[in-house]
Structure 1
Amino acid sequence: MKTCCFSLLLLLTFFKSSAQSSTPDKKYLDSLNQLIEKTSSDSIKARNYFLLSDFWREQDTTKSKAYLEKGKAHGDKYPYLKAIYYSYLANYYLGIDGTKSEINYLKADKELSAFSTKEAYQERAGAWHNYALVQQHQDDHKGALDALINHVLPLSKKAGDKIWLGTEYISIAAIFMNLKQYDKAIPYLNQGIEHFQNAPSSQYFLLVNAYLTAADNYSGLGKYQQTKKYLDLAKILLDKSKNVVSPYRIEIFLLDYYKCATTYFTATKQYQKALQHANEAIKLAKELNDNYSLQEIAFDKHTILIDQKRYPEAEKILMDLVKQKETNSLTQNRLKTFNALASLHYTTGNMAKAYIWLKKSKTLGDSLSESKLKTDISNLEIKYKTAEKEKKIVSLHAENENANYKIKQNRLLNWLLSLTSLFLFVIAILGWLFYRNSKKLATQKELNHQQQLIDIERQRQIDVVQVMLDTKEDEQNRVARDLHDGLGGMLSTAKVNLTHYTQEKTNNTDTELGNVVVQLENAITELRRIAHNMIPGMLLKLGLEAALRDLCETLSTQNLDVVFQWLNIQTEPPVQEQITIYRIVQEALTNAVKHADAKNILLQCTQSEDVFFITVDDDGKGFDVGAPLKNQGIGLKNIKSRVEHLSGTIEILSKENEQGTSINIELNVTT
């Protein structure tokens, strides 16, 4: 009864839902909808509509399809988005129409093959992985294995995601286990476990799944010492994971541990422990509403009952399994249940019932063999017809060659005469083309020269801006250090001396002197705040994400909520570019706080390859975007100059006397 489709099911969720799993549903949906409403970029709208479609896929198919079509409409002019549309369409059909799902996964792979980015390789790997899942659900384990080994593994290596690659190794091992080729599964299990050894604590569940799969494999080989080793490793990691925040409920993997332990204790004839673990598994499966696992455990429990000669209880369990649709969805499970019933009745001496179940088993096995035979015959017929067609093509090709040879001989003389005339004509044409091209070339050289001058001037302006920004940053750092180390130290010394003076004068009743001390304290605090803002120290120590999160938390007050989202950014840009991004966000947030009177501000940072996206939304007062540049604040001018320095674009959506402002920025960064 035991099957190893768990790894594949896990991977499907892992591939398409990782963005959702760490974010509360409402906040995640609100974020996607806000991005769609505020941006005018069709590419951003398309990506967010695809994410909405995938979010609703298992909850509301009507909504899912509607969002999918909206994403297609916005992404049709972008070849890459048009390609990944087929992957999301295949996801939509998964569980609804297997054939359409297969066709669209293959279509997605074909369209994505035109791109050579890591994101494209991972999308293709995901499409082939889900294609393999469809094959497994159709009992085509060899088809699933072919997809994983020959397509998913090479593409995953190109994508460079170590965690994803490790999960694929475990999936391949699971398929070999389903085919009872346990020895072939071992190298893939070892590879998968090796890839997970340094996984962060939030991904312990991957290593737990790998250990349990290895334990199940060694149990199939009858190597129970190895089985116990991996069971113990899994249990240690499960205990460590109780308080770890993870995208998946750890109870799912604890249930799998109890199932695997039940099988181990049954095989080693430790029936009391086997029953204890089986009962724990049943209890947990009921809590998780996992009917398939309930039936799987029931089959293991029937084995224990037979060994204890409790035949009526074992028969009742098997008869219940026959009626369950989850058990009967896989042909191998039905065949195993029929054989178990036949064996049970044979053991109890009820030959009539044993014969009935054996007959059902044979009929089912014959149907499987017949189906395979028909498939083999069909493949042979196709090969035969193809060979016959090739023979006919070769024969026709030979006849055509002879006819063409005679025609060539007859036409050779005419060609020689024609070529002579054509040669003279071509010389005349080439002379005219040479003259015309010479004139075009001269004109083009002049245009190129003008463009070079324009490019040089533009580069000069960019260099000037860079020097200005670097000078400003250095000056800010110098002033901040002088304020903090010089003036700050002097003020602190004055405050200490003044405080000491007031404390020595026991009869001192001068309240104004106390007020001076308080004002000095406030001045020192304000001075340190100014110096901290001028030098982004946290950025240099902990990176861009931590610095931005600290900035948002600093600006948040009782009357202002600043929400920060850091999405899909695997590698931060170089430090100098991080400082520029920090200054852009700092200016944008400061403008919203000072001028907009906002109560809610959303800062979102995302990245796609070498393009860094910044979105700042607030619900405060709008302003006239079309006002002359001289009327705009220095903060907005600084933002635009820094965006231009990184060859980026800025889009500001706001209107005077209306609520809300949205700033969308795209920056070209070094990856």
Structure 2
Amino acid sequence: MYRIILTITFLTATVCARAQLLADSLRNIIVRKDLPLEMRIDATDRLGQVVFFNTGWKEGLDILRESIQLAAPMKDGSYRAHTYGMMAASYFISGDTEAAYKHFDSATYYIRHSNSKLMKGYVLYMKGWLQVRSRQETDAIKTLQEALEVLEKAPGGLTYIQAVYSEIAGVYFKWYDLVNVEKYTRLSLNAANQLHILEKLISANQERGGYFINLYRENTERKEALDSALFYMRKSLHLARANRERLVTPSNIPFSAIGIANIFRENMPATAANKDSVDYYNNIALQEGKLTKQFAVEAGVYNELASEAARRGDYQSAVNYLNGAILVSAKDPLFDKYNLSQSHLGLAECYEQLKDTAQALHNYKQYMTLYQELFDVEKMNKAKDLEAKYEMARKEKDLLQMRLIAEQRNKDLIQARYISGQKDQALLAAKYAASLQEKALLNAKYETELKQQALSTANYKTSQREQELKVMSERFTYNRKLNKIYSVLTIALFLAAAFLYFAFKQRSKALRQKQQLHNMELDKIKQEHRISMLSAMLEGQEQERTRLARDLHDGLGGLLSGVKIELSALNAPETTSPQQKIVHKTLRHLDNAVDELRRIARSMMPEVLLTYGLGEATREYCNGLKKSGVPVTCQVYHYRNEMNHGRQVTLYRIMQELVNNAVKHAGATQILVQLQQSDHRIFLTVEDDGKGFDQSEMAALKGAGLANIQSRTEMLQGTLEVTSSPGTGASFTVECAVN
């Protein structure tokens, strides 16, 4: 431990010293009196960037404000537009979104007072950069394509073109569009190689490595893709560590290190050598993350160390690591909710193993809250992704239509030229026919002479042909023997190839079957884990409902009954004074409140379900709804009350949810609830004659209610059958085993 502390202290001092060296070098350039104002502004911008990423956010922003003041006398607004763009990005990184967009508006204003295409392209690039990080990927793609069109026409635009390629590749990474990811990561790396700028080379190699690891995950038989991913990620780490003193953003080191660690952990065999590699790169990521304040990287490493400790059975160490991850995440203004949710989930599981149920329940609740937030964001992002893909498809359709129109025009032009050529050809044919008639006379004379010569040579050719036929007969016999030999060799080679191919196919089939069995085992383990988590969550909910029902009935119910008794003492039947009327009215309200309280308590955990079982609870629930005006019919057949209490509660909740959906959404005039037991199988059917729905659109209709029903059915290891069509009502049937 002491040696690790010394190492981190030494690295901290080294990084700070190198960052300070770069900052001092830029300050020496700025104070030169002979330095032109344009170069002074550019050096000040770079100094602000170096200080922001290495020393402190506030100091870096102060230097960028000094650059704005230096550029104030300049008529060309491009200098202030550039600095305001850098400030917008800096504020966004520091978590102040409002200030980021305010400074970007200033950049947009000043670029209007400039003719620089380079800076106009840069401002468009910054707009796309902000849109990507504000979850506006569709608009970001449009903006970044506009930036490319401007920058390609601007001298020196390659610097920002590379950054635009990188941003577009990032968007397609989110959409998992590997074709476009390959295109733009390749363009980004080519541009970075031409520029020879260190930060751009590092980020371009990281992106290229990310593309290849996703390509490998799509098809794990592409081992060359995994090797390429490891090559590019190691190259980015080597570039960053070998040129640490030149780095403006030293956070590239921990990002590359944790990327390599993830490749070894997720995609390599679990050998001792690979585990050492994971520990080595995780250690680099943890040390460099602390130095560069990359809290997300540091929290991710702590989560991985906790997972390793839990697998070893050292749950106390795992709790310490996970608490460290949560503390680190709290320091990050843009903290990763997914990492934080996994930290709380790991803590809950560890506390369960340590028998600390209070802490386990607290962390499970924190995990569920973060999971719900992530789920809502994911739904919104998927909608945006679909919108973006639709927009791209529409543009491709318009482009194809334009090409079709152009091809039709070319076809018309070719046809016109063809008609003109036919006319010219007819004229030439007439001239050619006249010349043929003249030639025919000459040919007649010439043919007469030829016939005489042919007669003299006919005899000679006859004898020559007899000799040729003899030679051909001998050659044919030889070729036929040679063909037989070739045929035998060909058949032998074909049989050998067929045997090898059959052996190869059998081996491939065996390997595929083995992989399929492995995948089936993994799916089974995941399903069992999901069911156990869902069972624990639902059991906690039911316990909480039981406690609340008991507290409401024993506490608040008793209190209301006491108030009613005290007010009843004031009730004199022979008097009708105004005060007495108020007492009567208050007593009626108390009766209503007590009835409502009992209804709520029975709904949360009906006593009939606990005492008499699911059949009687279902009848009582339907009778209560019928009394309140809901048209419900209940039928219970052959139910023997053999289910354990937990499964009865789960099936009761499914019935409640289905009836509530029919009442709220179906517009039904009649609802049928049927509970039936056949041998060791239970059938629960809820039917209504409401408006129904199209089953082909059921996936789009699945809200929280249907999702809960499906989850509870899976927990019972049962099946949910849905039958419905528009205008004919709906029928839901749940089938499961008794125990």
Do Structure 1 and Structure 2 share a fold, with TM-score over 0.5?
A: no
Higher Rg of the two aligned structures: 2
| TM-score of the aligned structures, taking structure 1 as reference length | 0.42
| TM-score of the aligned structures, taking structure 2 as reference length | 0.38
Q: Whose relative contact order is higher, 1 or 2, with alpha carbons under 8 Å and at least 6 apart?
A: 1
